[in-house]
Structure 1
Amino acid sequence: MVKNSLISILKQKEKEENSGSVEFQVFIFTSKIRKLTSHLELHKRDFLSQRGLRIILGKRQRLLTYLSKKKKTRYTKLMDQLDIREPKIR
C-alpha cells in the first residue's frame, strides 16, 4: 500500500515537472532512507552507510520542519502519504 502511494506521488510529480519541490525532495530522501535501512539490516557494521543515513535523515528533517512552518496542510498530507512518524519534540 505504501509502495503504491509512493509510486502515485512520483508519477504526479513527474507530470508537474517540479523536481525541486519540497514534497518531491522528501519523497526521494524517504526512498533512499528505506533502501539504506534494509541494507543496514544485513550489514550491521557498515559505518559509512550509517553515516550517510544520518546525513539524509537530517536533510529530510530540515525539509519537513520548513514545510510544517510554511504550509501545515501540505505537511500533514505528505506525512500521511509517506507514512512518516511525527518527530519527537525536545
Structure 2
Amino acid sequence: MLSDIERKVLCIVRNFSIMQGRTPTVRELMRKTGRSYHGILEVLDKLAEERYIEWSRKKPNEIVLIQSWETKWTYEKIRPYSS
C-alpha cells in the first residue's frame, strides 16, 4: 500500500503528464509537494520498486509512468452472519 506522499507524487506525475504531455522533473515535484530533493528521490525509488514508474537515480528527470493508480487494496475479513 502506498503512503500518502507516494500516492500524491503518483497523482502529480499522472496529472502533469496528461496536462503537459511530459512527466515532471524532480524540481517540479519538489515545488508541488514541498519535499526536499532527497525526499523526492526516496519517493521515486519506492514508486519504481513497486512498479508504478520506471525511474533511475542515474537519470532522475526521466520518469516513465507505468501505472497511474494504486492497485493494492486491503480488505478486512468479515465474519459471516450467524444466527
TM-score tier, shorter chain, comes to 0.3 to 0.5
Bigger Rg over Cα: 2
More helix by share: 1
TM-score, with length taken from structure 2? 0.38
Structure with the larger strand share = 2
Alignment TM-score, normalising by the size of structure 1: 0.36
